[in-house]
Amino acid sequence: MPSKQISSPLSAVTSTWLSTSLRLCVWMVSIIFSLAVAQTAVAQEPSPAIIQNEATINFPESVDFVLEWPADANITSAVLHYDVDKVSCLEAAAQVPVDLVTNTDSIVAEWTWVMGRSGNPPPGSELNWYWTLTDIDGNVTQTVPQSKTFTDDRFSWQTISTEGIDLYWYRGEEVGPLLLEAAVAGLDTLENDMGIQLQDDVDIYIYGSAADMRDALLFVQEWAGGVAFDEYNTILMGVQPSSAEGWGRSTMRHELAHLVVGQYGWSCVGGSRPTWLNEGLAMYAEGEPDTETITSIQLATQNNSFEPLRSLNGSFSSHGPEAGIAYAQSYSVVDFLLREYGQESMQSLLLTLAEGTKYDDALLQVYGMDVDGVEAAWRIALGLPPRTFPPTPTPIVAANVPTAIPLGKPENVPTPPSANELPDVEERPLSPQNTGICGLGMIPLLGIGLVASWQGRSRKKLRDRKS
Ligand SMILES: [Zn+2]
């Protein structure tokens, strides 16, 4: 499987300062590891002859690192350094001091990265690692940096690619080409209607069912059928061949839109988008609204029962039927903004929000109206009277967490699987509604602040082996 790419040809770049800053940050992160290595290496002694330097990935649960060298090398301590390639502005390499085990002819340092607490990176992610060793005289040496790809070997993956997209699947011959075509159509909508382009290559993994997909992730809602990992430019979906044409096609466009909008509206400064904007844009990218969305909008218009838009800045109420109107309303508002004010204003809004501007301030700057003003204008366009009741207070939600934080970040909310999904694998109870929408939540990934507890695990493991 090809290694994950975190940059793409310059010709594909939209020339905004944000994309430049994104690339700069990605570049910085990708070289931080090697720079750190190079700087340390300058002052170092040559590394002792290494007998074994391996990382065995047990996807998705753990990674076993082992380093072995001759017993006469007089090494007194070993520190493991590792990270996973992702879009980030911060150095995220973890350092773990590892206990040494002395054998007859060699010394071994062994440590297991257990992802039960941190969450696992998606398949296709690239693991990097090296060790620093200190000898009895205090000289520090370093092993050659190595890399390995996280792969999900439970399945025989086929690959199909087009510019900027690598799609992997294993079930149903027609599924891969069909969903790749849907992805390309989604990109066309984003470019034609919003002027937003894919800026970094995307990996898409199509599992044969939602259950297969969820088994690839340690932390995922039990109802999830599709997940977009912004930081890894990776989408995972569970699509049975019978659902590929309907649910699969629209969900592909939806999740891809989350990634592309995420890339476009990303910066090292932080910043976030209101949920109604994120989900509205993703639904817009699905193409023509389905009957369910149209009916929801018609009913809410007739009954004057839309939510105050400000209440949709934060979390939606789960992924069940009650969330349906939130998604339909979000779509309607985004559709209104694009039709009335055009794609340049939408781009400007995304870029202003990426600078860390507050929602109301960003809307005021771009549209001359805060969120209540946008709602009022949209209601007039629908022929509705002004709203008479106040919005519920906006909860402090994941969407307001700045983008660049070291302990993982909120991902786009997963999408439930198709209600038509057949129970050919043990399925947990699913949402009764086939809304093709996202629910709520966040997936903590790749926490790096757990070194202390990992050390504890490592020591315990070595102690157990000794005894
Ligand atoms: Zn969504």
Tell me, in angstroms, the distance from the centre of ligand 1 to residue 436's CA.
Answer: 9
Tell me, in angstroms, the distance from the centre of ligand 1 to residue 85's CA.
Answer: 24
Q: How many CB atoms lie within 10 A of CB 26?
A: 21
Tell me, in angstroms, the distance from the centre of ligand 1 to residue 311's CA.
Answer: 17
The least confident of 16-25, 66-75, 98-107, 254-263 is 16-25
Tell me, in angstroms, the distance from the centre of ligand 1 to residue 262's CA.
Answer: 12
User: For residue range 40-62, what is the model confidence (pLDDT) as tens digits?
Assistant: 443 455 667 899 999 999 999 99
User: Can you give the pTM of this predicted structure?
Assistant: 0.74
Tell me, in angstroms, the distance from the centre of ligand 1 to residue 412's CA.
Answer: 6
- Please state at what angle helix 321-354 crosses helix 291-303, rounded to 10 degrees: 90
User: For residue range 147-205, what is the model confidence (pLDDT) as tens digits?
Assistant: 999 999 999 999 999 999 999 999 999 999 999 999 999 999 999 999 999 999 999 99
Confidence of residue 464 (pLDDT cuts 50, 70, 90): very low
Tell me, in angstroms, the distance from the centre of ligand 1 to residue 133's CA.
Answer: 46
Tell me, in angstroms, the distance from the centre of ligand 1 to residue 363's CA.
Answer: 21
Tell me, in angstroms, the distance from the centre of ligand 1 to residue 279's CA.
Answer: 5
Tell me, in angstroms, the distance from the centre of ligand 1 to residue 50's CA.
Answer: 48
Tell me, in angstroms, the distance from the centre of ligand 1 to residue 368's CA.
Answer: 27
Tell me, in angstroms, the distance from the centre of ligand 1 to residue 148's CA.
Answer: 31
Tell me, in angstroms, the distance from the centre of ligand 1 to residue 413's CA.
Answer: 6
Distance (Å, rounded) from C-alpha 178 to C-alpha 155?
20
DSSP notation for 227-264:
EEEGGGTEEEEE--GGGIIIIIHHHHHHHHHHHHHHHH
Tell me, in angstroms, the distance from the centre of ligand 1 to residue 414's CA.
Answer: 7
Q: Vertex 88, ends 84 and 90: CA angle to 5°?
A: 95
Tell me, in angstroms, the distance from the centre of ligand 1 to residue 91's CA.
Answer: 29
Tell me, in angstroms, the distance from the centre of ligand 1 to residue 269's CA.
Answer: 23
Tell me, in angstroms, the distance from the centre of ligand 1 to residue 283's CA.
Answer: 7
Tell me, in angstroms, the distance from the centre of ligand 1 to residue 251's CA.
Answer: 9
Tell me, in angstroms, the distance from the centre of ligand 1 to residue 454's CA.
Answer: 34
Tell me, in angstroms, the distance from the centre of ligand 1 to residue 260's CA.
Answer: 12
Tell me, in angstroms, the distance from the centre of ligand 1 to residue 241's CA.
Answer: 22
Q: How many CB atoms lie within 10 A of CB 206?
A: 29
For tokens 């993956």, what's the residue? 157
Tell me, in angstroms, the distance from the centre of ligand 1 to residue 200's CA.
Answer: 20
The CA R_g of the chain, rounded to the nearest whole Å, is 24
Among 436, 411, 404, 234, which Cα is nearest to 327's?
436
Tell me, in angstroms, the distance from the centre of ligand 1 to residue 184's CA.
Answer: 18
Task: Answer whether CATH 2.60.40.10 is correct for domain 18-151+448-466.
Answer: yes
Tell me, in angstroms, the distance from the centre of ligand 1 to residue 312's CA.
Answer: 13
Distance (Å, rounded) from C-alpha 304 to C-alpha 316?
19
Tell me, in angstroms, the distance from the centre of ligand 1 to residue 416's CA.
Answer: 10
For the cut 70, the answer to whether the pLDDT of residue 459 exceeds it is: no
Among 413, 414, 412, 386, which Cα is nearest to 309's?
386
Tell me, in angstroms, the distance from the centre of ligand 1 to residue 137's CA.
Answer: 56
Report yes or no: 360 and 375 within 8 Å, Cβ to Cβ: no
Report yes or no: 168 and 180 within 8 Å, Cβ to Cβ: no
For the cut 80, the answer to whether the pLDDT of residue 65 exceeds it is: yes
Q: How many CB atoms lie within 10 A of CB 303?
A: 8
Tell me, in angstroms, the distance from the centre of ligand 1 to residue 135's CA.
Answer: 52
Tell me, in angstroms, the distance from the centre of ligand 1 to residue 257's CA.
Answer: 8
Report yes or no: 235 and 217 within 8 Å, Cβ to Cβ: no
Question: How many angstroms separate the Cα of 416 from the Cα of each of 19, 419, 429, 453?
Answer: 31, 8, 11, 33
User: For residue range 281-299, what is the model confidence (pLDDT) as tens digits?
Assistant: 999 999 999 999 999 999 9
Tell me, in angstroms, the distance from the centre of ligand 1 to residue 103's CA.
Answer: 53
pLDDT at residue number 46: 60
First to last CA, the chain: 40
Which two tokens mark 325? Answer: 């109107």
Sign of the dihedral through C-alpha 249, 251, 254, 258: negative
Q: Which of the 8 DSSP states describes residue 415?
A: B
Burial class of 373 by CB neighbour count within 10 A (0 to 12, 13 to 18, 19+): middle
pLDDT at residue number 275: 93
Domain ranges for the chain: 18-151+448-466, 271-401
Segment 375-401 shows an average pLDDT of 74
User: For residue range 215-239, what is the model confidence (pLDDT) as tens digits?
Assistant: 999 988 777 888 888 889 999 999 9
